[in-house]
C-alpha cells in the first residue's frame, strides 16, 4: 500500500471510529487500534493511536477546560508517571499477541459487578490508581478506555468533568 493510500485508509478509520465513539460514547479507540494493527507494525500502531488520541482528547479537554478538576488530574498524572517509570525499568516492548489479548479482555472490565470494585476517581488514591493502571495500559498497549471508565462511572461528577 502506498503512503497516500495508507494515509487515506487511516483517515477514514479515524472518521468512522470517531463517529462510533460519538454515538456510543465508547469503543472507538479500541476499534481504531485494531485497524491500525492490521496496517502498521505494533509499536508504530500504538504511537499513531497515541498521536490521534492526543488530538482528540486534547481538543475535548480544551473545550471543557472550565470543568476539569485539576486535583484529580494531578493525581492521575502522578500515577501515569509511576506506570511510565515501571515500564521503562522493565524495558517493556509491545508485541502483537500481548496487545491483542489486552484489547480483547479490556471490554470485559465494564461488566465487573459494581460491588467488586467500588472505584471512584474523585478519591485521591483511586485517581492515582486510575493513572497507574489506565495510563500504564495506554502506554503498554495503546488503549485503556474501559479501564479508566471503571474509575469514573461511580463518581458524582457529571460527564463533562
Q: What share of the chain is helix, strand, coil (3-state, %, to 5)?
A: 75, 0, 25
Per-residue pLDDT, averaged over 101-118, amounts to 79
Residues 6+ apart with CB under 8 A from 159: none
What pLDDT was estimated at residue 143? 85
pLDDT over 80 (residue 131): yes
pLDDT in tens, 8-25: 999 999 989 888 888 877
Give the integer Cα–Cα distance in Å for 76 and 70. 10
pLDDT over 80 (residue 66): yes
pTM of the shown model:
0.83
pLDDT over 90 (residue 128): yes
What pLDDT was estimated at residue 160? 64
Per-residue pLDDT, averaged over 120-125, amounts to 89
Would you kindly state where each structural domain of the chain is located, as residue ranges? 1-63, 67-161
Burial of 154 (0-12, 13-18, 19+ CB in 10 A): middle
Amino acid at each position: 500500500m502506498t503512503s497516500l493510500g495508507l494515509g487515506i485508509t487511516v483517515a477514514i478509520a479515524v472518521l468512522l471510529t470517531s463517529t462510533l465513539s460519538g454515538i456510543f460514547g465508547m469503543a472507538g479507540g479500541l476499534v481504531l487500534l485494531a485497524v491500525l494493527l492490521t496496517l502498521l507494525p505494533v509499536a508504530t500502531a500504538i504511537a499513531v493511536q497515541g498521536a490521534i488520541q492526543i488530538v482528540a482528547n486534547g481538543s475535548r479537554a480544551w473545550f471543557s477546560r472550565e470543568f476539569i478538576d485539576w486535583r484529580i488530574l494531578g493525581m492521575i498524572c502522578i500515577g501515569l508517571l509511576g506506570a511510565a517509570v515501571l515500564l521503562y525499568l522493565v524495558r517493556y516492548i509491545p508485541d502483537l499477541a500481548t496487545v491483542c489479548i489486552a484489547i480483547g479482555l479490556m471490554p470485559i472490565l465494564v461488566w465487573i459487578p459494581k460491588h467488586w470494585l467500588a472505584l471512584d476517581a474523585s478519591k485521591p488514591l483511586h485517581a492515582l490508581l486510575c493513572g497507574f493502571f489506565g495510563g500504564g495500559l495506554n502506554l503498554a498497549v495503546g488503549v485503556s478506555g474501559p479501564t479508566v471508565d471503571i474509575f469514573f462511572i461511580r463518581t458524582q461528577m457529571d460527564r463533562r468533568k
